[in-house]
């Protein structure tokens, strides 16, 4: 079955499909983030330490990073629907095993299974959203699907954490499993009539070795370090910047999540109108200003303003980058989207590691300053890509996108 042109698919059908694709992102986001709020309870139940449970986050991240670029290539002969359904089944199995793990090693194994499902699903969901949408709505579609992760951060994770504290951590995982099951039913009955174009393995791998794609991956790595180093160490950063207590940090994280959702809701239109690279460049420039401000004693109001700016801009970089990569490799955009998500995971792991070193040796303010420097480097990288695209295609608008 070949691709069905986006213009031949009714808008209502596209919107419903994007809803279910985004719902799967809500499930994957909750699953990835809810562990942080339930570390003590999981550790007690498994008879281990909180640090040991924390390692499960690294297990998930590294499994994701190592497998995400290769899954779209290995299964390119199958339709997006088939891969997404298989991925959601694997994810669902992993989440249920996480809920009923009997020791830390079975928990690690369950988290690795979850990572496989998440890595396979995320790239297919974003690629499918881009492909089934008309040309002037691709940015909006990518943003709406990505907003599933933002919704999980703003609403799903707090609700899951509260349920876990009230009824046990297994309930939080089972809530995630329920959302995944609903997503699975939607995928089965809604039918994503999209298949990656037939291609050889050599042609699928070739874009990963091109200079423009490698430059985008470098940008993603730098941006992810900046984004996740702040998100991971928000508590000590705000404690220093505004003498924050736990209530203020929770409020700041809620504000961050709300700004994520708002950004995704309107940001897709900006991508479609001004182009991916233009939006990315503005976002990371704002990040390069907002993040180092958090390293200074700016008070409560200043801290909330900086967090809001960070949330509004940082979350929009992901869908913008995915649209850009999708147009660089239109035959199978999931290949580059998967590789990009690996770069995100590696950047997150690097940011967490660097942040731990800085927190111990230099202080929380240097975490914020480092985030600002990484954001500035990512802006320089993005600017370089934009200039190269302008020079290579002088007769076209400076959107930084490769024609599909």
Which pTM does this prediction carry? 0.72
Q: What is the pLDDT of residue 26?
A: 86
Q: What is the pLDDT of residue 110?
A: 95
3-state secondary structure of 244: coil
CA distance 57 to 108: 9
Are 290 and 377 contacting, i.e. CB atoms less than 8 angstroms apart? no
Q: What is the pLDDT of residue 132?
A: 73
Are 125 and 24 contacting, i.e. CB atoms less than 8 angstroms apart? yes
Are 238 and 112 contacting, i.e. CB atoms less than 8 angstroms apart? no
Q: Which of these, 161, 35, 155, lies nearest to 95 by C-alpha position?
A: 35
Q: Which residues pair with 79 in a beta bridge?
A: 195
Encoded tokens for 78: 């199958």
CATH topology of domain 199-404: Growth Hormone; Chain: A; (1.20.1250)
DSSP string computed for 289-324: HHHHHTTS--HHHHHHHHHHHHHHHHTTHHHHHHHH
Hey, what CATH class is 8-196 in? Answer: mainly alpha
199-404 matches 8-196 in CATH topology: yes
3-state secondary structure of 79: strand
The residue ranges of every structural domain in the chain are 8-196, 199-404
Q: What is the pLDDT of residue 388?
A: 73
Residues written for the chain: 404
Q: What is the pLDDT of residue 113?
A: 95
Q: What is the pLDDT along the chain (404 residues), one digit of tens a residue?
A: 444 444 444 444 457 788 888 888 888 888 776 776 677 788 888 998 876 887 787 788 888 888 887 887 778 777 888 888 999 999 999 999 999 999 999 999 999 999 999 988 988 888 788 777 776 676 777 777 777 777 776 666 566 667 777 788 888 899 899 999 999 999 888 766 555 555 555 666 677 777 888 888 889 999 988 988 887 787 788 888 888 776 777 778 778 878 887 887 777 778 888 888 888 899 999 999 999 998 888 888 999 999 999 988 887 888 888 778 877 766 667 778 778 888 888 887 788 778 878 887 888 889 899 999 999 999 888 888 877 766 555 433 333 344 33
Taking the CA atoms of 175, 177, 183 and 184 in sequence, report the sign of the dihedral they define.
negative
3-state secondary structure of 1: coil
């Amino acid at each position: 079955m070949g691709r069905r042109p986006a213009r031949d698919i009714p808008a209502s059908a596209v919107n419903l499909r994007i809803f279910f694709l985004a719902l799967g992102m809500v499930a994957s986001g909750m699953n990835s983030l809810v562990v942080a709020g339930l570390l003590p309870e999981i550790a007690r139940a498994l008879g281990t330490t909180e640090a040991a449970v924390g390692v499960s986050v690294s297990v998930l991240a590294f499994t994701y990073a190592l497998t995400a670029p290769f899954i779209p290539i290995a299964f390119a002969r199958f339709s997006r629907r088939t891969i997404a359904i298989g991925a959601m089944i694997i994810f669902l199995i992993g989440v249920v095993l996480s809920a009923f793990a009997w020791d830390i090693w079975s928990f690690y194994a369950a988290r690795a299974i979850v990572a496989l499902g998440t890595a396979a699903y995320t790239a297919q969901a974003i690629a499918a959203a881009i492909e089934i949408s008309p040309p002037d709505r691709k940015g909006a579609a990518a943003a709406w699907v990505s907003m599933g992760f933002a919704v999980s951060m703003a609403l799903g994770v707090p609700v899951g954490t509260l349920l876990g504290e009230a009824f046990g951590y297994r309930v939080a995982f089972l809530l995630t499993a329920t959302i995944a099951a609903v997503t699975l039913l939607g995928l089965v009955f809604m039918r994503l009539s999209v298949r990656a174009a037939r291609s050889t393995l050599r042609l699928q791998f070739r874009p990963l070795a091109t200079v423009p794609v490698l430059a985008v991956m470098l940008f993603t790595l730098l941006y992810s370090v900046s984004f996740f180093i702040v998100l991971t160490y928000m508590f000590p950063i705000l404690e220093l910047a505004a003498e924050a207590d736990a209530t203020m940090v929770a409020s700041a994280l809620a504000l961050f999540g709300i700004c994520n959702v708002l950004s995704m809701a309107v940001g897709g239109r900006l991508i479609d109108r001004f182009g991916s690279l233009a939006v990315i460049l503005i976002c990371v420039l704002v990040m390069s200003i907002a993040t180092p401000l958090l390293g200074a004693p700016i008070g409560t109001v200043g801290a909330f303003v900086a967090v809001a700016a960070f949330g509004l801009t940082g979350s929009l970089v992901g869908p913008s980058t995915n649209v850009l990569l999708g147009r660089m490799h239109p035959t199978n955009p999931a290949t580059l989207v998967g590789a990009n998500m690996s770069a995100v995971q590696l950047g997150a792991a690097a940011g967490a590691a660097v942040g731990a070193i800085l927190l111990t040796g230099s202080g929380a303010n240097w975490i914020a300053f480092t985030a600002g420097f990484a954001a500035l480097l990512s802006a320089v990288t993005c600017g370089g890509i934009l200039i190269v695209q302008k020079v290579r295609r002088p007769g076209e608008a400076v959107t930084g996108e490769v024609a599909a």
